[in-house]
Amino acid sequence: DVKVTQSSRYLVKRTGEKVFLECVQDMDHENMFWYRQDPGLGLRLIYFSYDVKMKEKGDIPEGYSVSREKKERFSLILESASTNQTSMYLCASRGTAGTQYFGPGTRLLVL
Protein backbone atom coordinates (compact mmCIF):
# COMPACT_ATOMS: atom_id res chain seq x y z
CA ASP A 1 0.00 0.00 0.00
CA VAL A 2 1.07 3.53 -0.73
CA LYS A 3 1.92 5.45 2.36
CA VAL A 4 1.95 9.21 2.61
CA THR A 5 2.88 10.58 6.00
CA GLN A 6 2.78 14.11 7.34
CA SER A 7 4.94 15.34 10.15
CA SER A 8 2.18 16.52 12.46
CA ARG A 9 -1.55 15.91 12.83
CA TYR A 10 -2.11 19.08 14.86
CA LEU A 11 -0.03 22.22 15.09
CA VAL A 12 -0.49 25.52 16.92
CA LYS A 13 1.66 28.48 15.89
CA ARG A 14 1.75 32.21 16.52
CA THR A 15 1.34 34.93 13.92
CA GLY A 16 4.65 35.71 12.25
CA GLU A 17 6.25 32.34 12.97
CA LYS A 18 7.88 30.35 10.20
CA VAL A 19 6.12 27.02 9.85
CA PHE A 20 7.38 23.85 8.19
CA LEU A 21 5.01 21.08 7.15
CA GLU A 22 6.71 17.93 5.98
CA CYS A 23 5.36 15.18 3.77
CA VAL A 24 6.98 11.87 2.90
CA GLN A 25 5.82 9.20 0.44
CA ASP A 26 7.27 5.74 0.07
CA MET A 27 6.25 4.83 -3.49
CA ASP A 28 8.88 6.66 -5.53
CA HIS A 29 6.22 8.92 -7.06
CA GLU A 30 7.43 11.87 -9.08
CA ASN A 31 4.42 14.12 -8.50
CA MET A 32 3.54 15.51 -5.12
CA PHE A 33 0.97 18.11 -4.08
CA TRP A 34 0.04 20.40 -1.23
CA TYR A 35 -3.60 21.36 -0.75
CA ARG A 36 -5.47 23.20 1.92
CA GLN A 37 -9.03 22.37 2.84
CA ASP A 38 -11.46 24.84 4.37
CA PRO A 39 -15.17 24.46 5.12
CA GLY A 40 -17.26 25.49 2.14
CA LEU A 41 -14.22 25.99 -0.08
CA GLY A 42 -13.23 22.40 -0.69
CA LEU A 43 -9.66 21.44 -1.59
CA ARG A 44 -7.47 24.14 -3.06
CA LEU A 45 -4.09 23.47 -4.60
CA ILE A 46 -1.21 25.45 -3.14
CA TYR A 47 1.83 24.01 -4.91
CA PHE A 48 2.85 20.89 -6.72
CA SER A 49 6.14 19.31 -7.68
CA TYR A 50 6.75 17.01 -10.62
CA ASP A 51 10.35 16.14 -9.83
CA VAL A 52 13.15 16.85 -7.40
CA LYS A 53 13.80 20.58 -7.21
CA MET A 54 10.93 21.23 -9.62
CA LYS A 55 7.84 23.06 -8.46
CA GLU A 56 4.85 24.87 -9.84
CA LYS A 57 2.40 27.24 -8.23
CA GLY A 58 -1.11 26.06 -7.75
CA ASP A 59 -4.18 28.19 -7.32
CA ILE A 60 -3.32 29.85 -4.00
CA PRO A 61 0.48 30.02 -3.59
CA GLU A 62 0.62 33.41 -1.86
CA GLY A 63 2.21 33.23 1.55
CA TYR A 64 3.64 29.77 0.93
CA SER A 65 6.78 28.25 -0.49
CA VAL A 66 7.86 24.65 -1.01
CA SER A 67 10.98 22.55 -1.08
CA ARG A 68 11.67 19.24 -2.80
CA GLU A 69 15.28 18.24 -2.21
CA LYS A 70 14.60 14.51 -2.30
CA LYS A 71 12.06 12.59 -4.32
CA GLU A 72 10.23 11.20 -1.33
CA ARG A 73 9.94 14.44 0.62
CA PHE A 74 7.91 17.56 -0.16
CA SER A 75 7.86 20.39 2.35
CA LEU A 76 5.44 23.29 2.64
CA ILE A 77 6.72 26.45 4.26
CA LEU A 78 4.70 29.29 5.67
CA GLU A 79 7.25 32.09 5.72
CA SER A 80 5.33 34.22 8.22
CA ALA A 81 2.21 32.55 9.46
CA SER A 82 -1.00 34.53 9.53
CA THR A 83 -4.40 33.76 11.04
CA ASN A 84 -5.95 33.29 7.60
CA GLN A 85 -3.62 30.34 7.11
CA THR A 86 -5.43 28.42 9.81
CA SER A 87 -6.59 25.38 7.88
CA MET A 88 -6.29 21.68 7.22
CA TYR A 89 -3.24 20.99 5.06
CA LEU A 90 -3.16 17.89 2.92
CA CYS A 91 -0.22 16.41 1.08
CA ALA A 92 -0.74 14.02 -1.82
CA SER A 93 1.41 11.84 -4.00
CA ARG A 94 0.39 10.87 -7.52
CA GLY A 95 0.74 7.33 -8.71
CA THR A 96 -0.08 5.58 -11.94
CA ALA A 97 -3.44 6.09 -13.64
CA GLY A 98 -3.73 9.55 -12.16
CA THR A 99 -4.67 8.40 -8.69
CA GLN A 100 -3.62 10.64 -5.86
CA TYR A 101 -2.85 9.28 -2.43
CA PHE A 102 -3.32 11.63 0.46
CA GLY A 103 -1.67 11.90 3.82
CA PRO A 104 -3.70 12.13 7.03
CA GLY A 105 -3.60 15.92 7.05
CA THR A 106 -2.20 18.56 9.39
CA ARG A 107 -4.66 20.77 11.18
CA LEU A 108 -2.87 24.09 11.68
CA LEU A 109 -4.09 26.79 14.03
CA VAL A 110 -2.40 30.18 13.83
CA LEU A 111 -3.07 32.40 16.81
How far apart, in whole angstroms, are the C-alpha atoms of residue 85 and residue 36?
Answer: 9
| 19, 24, 33, 78: which one binds other proteins (CB under 8 A) | 33
Q: Is 34 in the site for other proteins (CB under 8 A)?
A: no
Which range, of 13-21, 37-45, 62-70, 72-80, touches other proteins by CB under 8 A?
Answer: 37-45
Q: Which amino acid is it at 94?
A: R
- Report the site for other proteins in 3-32 (rule: CB under 8 A): 4, 31
Q: If you write DSSP's letter for every residue of 2-70 in order, what string do you get?
A: --EEES-SEEEE-TT--EEEEEEESS--SEEEEEEEETTTEEEEEEEEEETTEEEE-S--TTEEEEEEE
Q: Is 39 in the site for other proteins (CB under 8 A)?
A: no
| 56, 79, 80, 111: which one binds other proteins (CB under 8 A) | 56
Q: Of 11, 19, 20, nearest to 106 (Cα)? A: 11
Q: Is 90 in the site for other proteins (CB under 8 A)?
A: yes
Q: Rule CB under 8 A: which residues touch other proteins?
A: 4, 31, 33, 42-43, 45, 48-50, 56, 58, 90-92, 94, 97-105, 107
